Structure 1
Amino acid sequence: MMLKVAIIGAGAISGAHISAYLAFPERCQIVTVVDIYVEKAQKRINEYGLEGAQAVTDYTELLAQNIDLVSVCTPPYTHAPIVCDFMQAGAHVLVEKPMASSLEEADLMLRAAQASGKLLSVVAQNRFTTPMMKLKGVLDSKRMGPIVHVQVDSFWWRGHNYYDLWWRGTWEKEGGGCTLNHAVHHIDAMLWMMGPPVELQAMMANTAHDNAEVEDISMAMLRFQEGALGMITSSVVHHGEEQQLIFQGKEARVSAPWKVVASTARNNGFPEPNRELEHQIQKLADELPDVTHVGHAGQVENVLNAIETVSPLLVDGQSGRNTLELIVGIYKSASTGEKVVFPIGAEDAFYTREGIMQHAVHFYEKKTTVDNFEDSSITLGMKLDF
């Protein structure tokens, strides 16, 4: 069965979605591209040679058209109404990260998915890479012993003018800064591998972007159920953009970018290399299969498989909500100075977008607004090699 696909939002990230669907021409066809600027939608259709696809300005025109699958590539604050409308109309939905700009909106989306019986997947394209799949496989093997510490460095660099784009740099429209919109991939990967923390303490600042209300750096300390501790640094002020995920087990450590080190104790308790365990872990990693379809294409394949064969989604709506909840926890702790204990419930001041807008620290006022950048080239995802 050929699935009919609609792309909602023709901004920079939409190209990754379109390319992903085009990798499976015998299984799906893009029939519509929607954007409030119709010329942007038409440009995408022309650019990718989407024969027969129509350019539309208002997504509600599609709700009666029996679309099978929708990719939502619009700013975060618009996700909830679009996703809920399409699910109620009977479509499956793949929505870009972050899932929404509040937990209230995420819960509306989850309820819409449950009520419709349709699939809701949240983009986490970096899971669908060989380094991430191998790292997950190694951690699941438990060869490293219990995890005692995890370190997440989500280091990016963005210029001052990055926040001039009309929807960026405000709590209302972007929903947050680098923690929500850049570190989301690393946070998703960490939660996939570790499970959720039980509590955290965080700080954040805006050190280099005085045209944005939101943070450009944050740091969070986490405690997990089994006793492990963790550290997440989210940033758009790090030149060089070095990024890493490090998992310290009782017996060994592994990371992305890939490195394995194992130690045993000498008589005085100081370390010496455990070459045998290092070799075992390396052999396990080498034997795990490479990913066939990488990034967005891998996630699209997973969604198509789930639609066609009722197989499980690797990244479902609940997974997207868990990532958002941890990020909201960082914003709450950094704004109030208090320790945050999970879960964050509907009674919490930070549960709604209005609550976050009211209670989160506003660093600066947004001074400049541009509708579009002439240079629309962007970098996608984490730079983690195996």
Structure 2
Amino acid sequence: MAKDLTQQPVGVALIGAGMIAQTHVTALSGAQDRAQLRAVVSRTPERARPLADHYDGAAPDFTSDLAAVAADPLIQMAIVATPPSVRTEVIRALAASGTHILLEKPVGRTPTEALEVVEICEQAGVALGVVFQHRVRAPSVAAARHVASGALGKLGVVEIAVPIWRDQSYYDELGRGTYARDGGGVMLTNAIHSIDLALSLTGPVASVQAMTATSPLHRMEAEDFAVAGLRFPCGAVGSFIASTAMFPHRTEVIRLHFENASLRLDKDALEVSWRDGRSVVEGRVEAIGDDRPLSGGRHEWHQAIIEDFVDAIRAGRKPMVTGREALVSHRLIAAIETSSRTGRPVEMA
């Protein structure tokens, strides 16, 4: 049974103090009307204490005692930002205590593990949301509005491109890019955001034919390059390419070609090119704030996800992206891996 939510604001624990933790702490600082950061759980609490400098509120407790945090009735929600390899048991402990969970991607290292996480939360009666912050960017919201309107007509071609760069030092840290820690490489760790956003606009994929590889530019276990041909149930076809070996680092781009117009979507703007010659730019984002490649983007995007999650658990509705909805992206990644390994197309359920 979930914890009581009459307390305002909702008490929050941040589980994990790694690369993305600062973004969450800054986001929580801006969401204090809804959520109060009460605890940060880290294996090395003293090393995590500088995070308090990014929180404009009463300093949280820093601890390694997950059980105590889970049992605290004043902490009704946890943001889980640990490596995937240690996530299932963390979520099991939190869910058993009735703590709602907002989870950094991926849900699990494999679709089976991800489904287990989802079912743990469902059986415990706690909400499970996933941080897919690309959905809340202004260009993404504008794109979703156009797709929902029906004015674009039938979808014909989809392009998903994630051409990014990560230095070798990125993979030398804490075993990143290994199957044991992360579950995979560029797809599960990096491109999953663009995959989720694209599928939220197109619907799920019907079949995949793919190739993945580790390029000579990185020393790592999992893939740093993936390419796939996609077929959709509506008859549309598409392409997907993602790599962390493409220098210099560029922005991810999604292009959707419909009967009546084509959309070009990235983090900065949505370009709509109508077949009648009109061309408009919507949702343009000014180049301000923290948008470094490794930072997770602007903290405002995470803040919007956090605020939606708090509002969802208070109202008893679904958060923006549920754990079960996130399984669609996990299954597509697994299908790409299977197709690459077998050399054959994979039909999706």
TM bin, normalised by shorter chain, reads: 0.7 to 0.9
Q: Which residue of 2 aligns with 1:147?
A: 155
Match of 1:159 among 155, 167, 185: 167
Aligned position for 2:318 = 312
Shift of 1:123: 0.6
1:251 aligns with 2:254: no
Q: Among 61, 68, 83, which residue is 1:61 paired with?
A: 68
Match of 1:11 in 2: 18
Q: Which residue of structure 1 aligns with residue 225 of structure 2? A: 217
How far apart are residue 91 of structure 1 and its match? 0.6
Deviation at 1:210, TM superposition (A): 4.3
The unaligned stretches of length 5 or more in structure 1 are 264-273, 287-292, 344-386
1:226 matches 2:238: no
User: 1:208 touches 1:216 (CA, 8 Å); kept in 2?
Assistant: no
Matched residue SS, 1:197? coil
Other-structure match for 2:101: 93
In the other structure, the counterpart of 1:297 is: 303
Q: Matched residues, percent identical?
A: 28
- Following superposition, the deviation at residue 46 of structure 1 comes to 4.3
TM-score normalised to structure 2 length: 0.87
Deviations 1:317-343 (A, max 9, x none): 112111111111111111221211123
Equivalent residue letter for 2:255: I
Other-structure match for 2:55: 48
Q: Distance in 2 between matches of 1:294 and 1:42?
A: 22
Residues 129, 294 of structure 1: 8 Å contact kept: no
State the Cα distance separating 1:63 from its structure 2 match.
2.3
Aligned counterpart, 2:120: 112
Point out 4+ residue stretches in structure 1 off by more than 6 angstroms.
none
Give 1:119's aligned amino acid. Answer: A
Larger radius of gyration: 1
Residue 214 of structure 2 corresponds to residue 206 of structure 1: yes
Give the corresponding residue for 2:92: 84
Moved more, 21-30 or 88-97: 21-30
Offset of residue 69 of structure 1:
0.5
Q: Distance in 2 between matches of 1:47 and 1:187?
A: 30
SS of residue in 2 equivalent to 1:295: helix
Cα distance in 1 for partners of 2:21, 2:59 equals 18
Tell me how large the CA RMSD over aligned residues is: 1.8
The number of residues matched between the two structures is: 322
Alignment of 1:277-356 (within 5 A): 278=278, 282=280, 294-343=300-349
Q: Which residue of 2 aligns with 1:378?
A: none
Contact 1:207–1:217 (CA<8 Å) still a contact in 2? yes
What letter is aligned with 1:59? Answer: L
Please, what TM-score do these two structures have when normalized by structure 1?
0.79
Partner Cα distance (2:171, 2:78) in 1: 28
